[in-house]
Amino acid sequence: MNHLKTQLAEYCQHCKSMQNLKGNFSNREQKTSDGGTRTIITVSYHCECCHNFICSEEYEQNSQLMF
């Protein structure tokens, strides 16, 4: 598990205000239909203040996303 400081801010239900998010990201391999594998990066976003879970997103490693 890796930690990621983000520029994102979302409404936190727990804090009842806008908060910066921090992300944890992990990699996993997924089989593709053509027999290969691809790496999926799952990012879970938590409130920086209270650590309440906000949302998660998945990306393919070779997408345009820059960390």
Interface residues toward Zn ion, by CB under 5 A = 12, 14-15, 19, 47, 49-50, 52
d(Cα 66, Cα 4) in Å, to the nearest integer? Answer: 12
CB of 42 to Zn ion, least distance (A): 21
- Shortest-Cβ-distance residue relative to Zn ion: 47
**Of 40 and 52, CB closest to Zn ion:** 52
**Of 43 and 47, CB closest to Zn ion:** 47
The answer for 12, left when phi > 0, alpha when psi is -120 to 50, beta otherwise, is beta
Question: Which DSSP state fits 65?
Answer: -
